[in-house]
Amino acid sequence: MSLTNFVERWVDEAAGLTEPGRVTWCDGSKAEYERLVDQMLGDGTLLPLESPAYPNCYLHRSHPSDVARTEQLTYICTRSRLDAGPTNNWMAPDDARRRIGGLLHGAMRSRTMYVVPYLMGPPGSAMSRVGVMVTDSAYVVASMHLMTRVGGVALSHMRSAEDFIGGVHSLGDLSPERRFIAHFPEQRLIWSVGSGYGGNALLGKKCHALRIGSWQAREEGWLAEHMLILGLEDPEGRVTYLAAAMPSASGKTNLSMLVSKLPGYRVWTVGDDIAWIHVGDDGQLRAINPERGFFGVAPQTSPATNPNAMAMVSANTIFTNVAVTPSGEPWWEGIGTEPPAGLTDWQGRPWASGNGPAAHPNARFTVPASQCPSIAPSWEDPQGVPISGFIFGSRLARVAPLVSEAFDWNHGVFMGSAMGTETTAAITGKVGVVRRDPMAMLPFCGYNMADYFAHWLRIGTRVPRPPRIFRVNWFRRDGSGRFLWPGYGDNARVLKWIVDRIHGKADAAETPIGYVPRSNDLELDGLDIAPERLQAALSVERDEWIESLHDLGEFYRQFGSRLPAAIQEGLAQTARRLTT
């Protein structure tokens, strides 16, 4: 049987379950994208943005209850509950097949089922992987066109008949009551019903590239991470590549394409959300971006905070849940202009001050990565780019300093595992609640997080000179709630310190939590910041840290004996350093 026959048989099974009126195979062509857009303009799924400043740009308004990822409805369905671990929702595969199968059964009656073969990763890369998803949403198909490589290119990268992840997606009735995002890593299968929202519905992204991907990565000895990839070019023209994990809506897109406020430094973008990282033959870690587009947060994106993003979303972009001006331009809070008279909000209502935000706080843009002015020449290199440093960043008003460096690999893995963060609008639920989010993977690790820590520790033993590991926090605040650090383009100053540490050129103070720069270890030329504010951003407060370790101990306890000794030891050592 040929490779495609096997895919066809799987698609037939999906059709047997969902009973579509029609089946359409997608080829990923421009003509196909245009047909989908025309059809969606016809049925109101997309609205045109009439402004000539935004050619080929469209607005999609989602169902008002379908605006973000729903972690409480996201499941890992493994035979053994322990393999999903205590931080994931778990459902037995048979139960899932019954409950979710019931919702998918006949879900596409009289609708079109689109078959979308997609490639995650650059063509020609041994690190790239194939998925085949079926969906009854034209918006999902068009978004997959922008975010992945769709069509024959996918099927031609299958290494064997069963070398693909299957995904079944249906909008269902969009009710959160009948919504599930289920992963069957043992069957290489994803079932998603009841949501059209990005991370729930574009199955190549979080479901495949992170949850199933992390499972495969552990089996095959690589890493699938919620990380941006960037190259920092220094004044000598040397480019140093870094990968940075940060929780949802916490600065990856911004950092990956920042325009440096430091003369002579330049950031090159390889990816903004996901990194697949392999140990190369030369013992060096090499990373690819499995995606080919950006699904980025719109609010607070402006010519001042992220000029590259503003430039890239001015054509061929699908906006979701933004507001729209009377002249047909997208608008959101923090875009840099006052809300114009006659603004229409994200739900299509006339906006008035006092009505809440005009754009949904998790409004997004979907755009081809190739349109980013800072896209790295190496971004589709089949060999990936060499990674010299890892950054773990989160959103914390207190405790974590602007930047610190781990003492060594194991200490860095401990540091990542200990990360806490304030929740954001990228997930439904309460915003601003501090929770543990190890390596920004809490919602995305497809297996037991304790085993994930062990996997990270093991990777460190396989590379002769493991990358340095850093922790950043752009979000520390003063007593009145103002950010201490200006962030955005000034984060280049922190990147410079990180890269200088890697190349042995920058100084730091040794503290109980790692190496932390003193004010004069950072390049501050041209920065207008009060010395005491910078001091506060860099400070390590013993009492705050000791308090945070209690909570961390609680978090670790749920893993029982599966928690690696080196992680427990990291906690014990930090406590000792803080109290002596």
Residue 464 backbone phi and psi in degrees, to 5: -60, -40
- Smallest distance, Å, CB 246 to ligand SPV? 9
- Smallest distance, Å, CB 251 to ligand GTP? 4
Q: How far apart are CA 250 and CA 425, in angstroms?
A: 10
Closest CA to 67 of 363, 332, 391: 363
CB-based closest residue to ligand SPV: 199
Query: Based on CB atoms, which residue is closest to Mn ion, 210 or 258?
Result: 210
User: Which of the listed partners (ligand GTP, ligand SPV, Mn ion, none) does 271 bind, with a CB threshold of 5 to 8 Å by partner kind?
Assistant: none
Query: Based on CB atoms, which residue is closest to ligand GTP, 119 or 246?
Result: 246
User: Which of the listed partners (Mn ion, ligand GTP, ligand SPV, none) does 474 bind, with a CB threshold of 5 to 8 Å by partner kind?
Assistant: ligand GTP
Q: Which stretch binds Mn ion (CB under 5 A): 111-119, 182-190, 267-275, 336-344?
A: 267-275
Find the farthest-apart pair of alpha carbons in the chain and give their distance in angstroms, rounded: 71
71 binds Mn ion, rule: CB under 5 A: no
Query: Applying CB under 6 A, which residues contact ligand SPV?
Result: 69, 198-199, 205-206, 248, 273, 295, 426
* Number of residues this chain uses to bind ligand GTP (CB under 6 A): 22
Strand ranges for 272-379 from DSSP E? 275-279, 285-288, 293-297, 318-320, 323-324, 330-331, 364-368
Query: Based on CB atoms, which residue is closest to ligand SPV, 240 or 366?
Result: 366
Query: Based on CB atoms, which residue is closest to ligand SPV, 71 or 521?
Result: 71
Query: Based on CB atoms, which residue is closest to ligand SPV, 420 or 517?
Result: 420
Query: Based on CB atoms, which residue is closest to ligand SPV, 432 or 526?
Result: 432
User: Which of the listed partners (ligand SPV, ligand GTP, Mn ion, none) does 296 bind, with a CB threshold of 5 to 8 Å by partner kind?
Assistant: ligand GTP
Per-residue string for binding with ligand GTP, 370-409, x by CB under 6 A? ----------------------------------------
**DSSP readout, 235-251?**
TTS-EEEEEEE--TTSS
Q: Which of residues 247-306 bind ligand GTP (CB under 6 A)?
A: 248-254, 272-273, 296-297, 299-300, 305
Tokens standing for residue 226:
């919620």
- Smallest distance, Å, CB 425 to ligand GTP? 9
322 binds ligand GTP, rule: CB under 6 A: no
**DSSP readout, 441-483?**
-TTT--S-HHHHHHHHHHHHHHSSSPPEEEEE-TT-B-TTS-B
Query: Based on CB atoms, which residue is closest to ligand SPV, 257 or 522?
Result: 257
User: Which of the listed partners (Mn ion, ligand GTP, ligand SPV, none) does 272 bind, with a CB threshold of 5 to 8 Å by partner kind?
Assistant: ligand GTP
Tokens standing for residue 449:
């997080």
- Smallest distance, Å, CB 248 to Mn ion? 5
CB-based closest residue to ligand GTP: 487
Q: How far apart are CA 107 and CA 171, in angstroms?
A: 8
Residue in 483, 524, 533, 546 binding ligand GTP, rule: CB under 6 A: 483
Closest CA to 143 of 18, 11, 269, 296: 296
Tokens standing for residue 201:
């519905």
Which residue is associated with the tokens 């997930």?
Answer: 427
Query: Based on CB atoms, which residue is closest to ligand SPV, 145 or 206?
Result: 206
- Smallest distance, Å, CB 442 to ligand SPV? 11
200 binds ligand GTP, rule: CB under 6 A: no
CA dihedral 204, 209, 211, 215 (to 10 degrees): 130
Residue in 67, 246, 277, 450 binding ligand GTP, rule: CB under 6 A: 246
Residue in 225, 234, 273, 490 binding Mn ion, rule: CB under 5 A: 273
Q: How far apart are CA 569 and CA 575, in angstroms?
A: 10
Helix-helix angle 449-462:409-417, to 10 degrees: 160
Sheet holding 293-297, edge to edge: 47-48, 58-60, 318-320, 364-368, 293-297
Query: Based on CB atoms, which residue is closest to ligand SPV, 251 or 517?
Result: 251
- Smallest distance, Å, CB 69 to ligand SPV? 5
Which residue is associated with the tokens 């030329």?
Answer: 525
Query: Based on CB atoms, which residue is closest to ligand SPV, 208 or 455?
Result: 208
User: Which of the listed partners (ligand SPV, Mn ion, ligand GTP, none) does 26 bind, with a CB threshold of 5 to 8 Å by partner kind?
Assistant: none
CB-based closest residue to Mn ion: 273
Burial bucket for residue 395 (CB in 10 Å: 0-12, 13-18, 19+): buried
Query: Based on CB atoms, which residue is closest to ligand SPV, 181 or 536?
Result: 181
Query: Based on CB atoms, which residue is closest to ligand GTP, 89 or 300?
Result: 300
Q: Is the separation of the CB atoms in 83 and 219 below 8 Å?
A: no
Q: Which of residues 226-255 bind Mn ion (CB under 5 A)?
A: 248
Three-state DSSP at 198 gives helix
- Smallest distance, Å, CB 312 to ligand GTP? 13
Q: How far apart are CA 417 and CA 525, in angstroms?
A: 34
- The DSSP code for 204 is I
Closest CA to 257 of 222, 229, 299, 223: 229
- Smallest distance, Å, CB 533 to ligand GTP? 14
- HSE value, Cβ hemisphere, 13 Å, CA-based, for 579: 9
Query: Based on CB atoms, which residue is closest to ligand SPV, 18 or 74?
Result: 74
Q: Is the separation of the CB atoms in 473 and 395 below 8 Å?
A: yes
- Report residue 408 CA to chain centroid gap: 26
* Number of residues this chain uses to bind Mn ion (CB under 5 A): 2
Q: How far apart are CA 205 and CA 388, in angstroms?
A: 25
User: Which of the listed partners (ligand GTP, Mn ion, ligand SPV, none) does 407 bind, with a CB threshold of 5 to 8 Å by partner kind?
Assistant: none
Q: How far apart are CA 267 and CA 257, in angstroms?
A: 6
Q: How far apart are CA 163 and CA 131, in angstroms?
A: 8
- Smallest distance, Å, CB 306 to ligand GTP? 8
Can you give the binding site for ligand GTP, defined by CB under 6 A?
A: 246, 248-254, 272-273, 296-297, 299-300, 305, 426, 474-475, 483, 487-488, 491
The residues of the shown chain that bind Mn ion, judged by CB under 5 A, are 248, 273
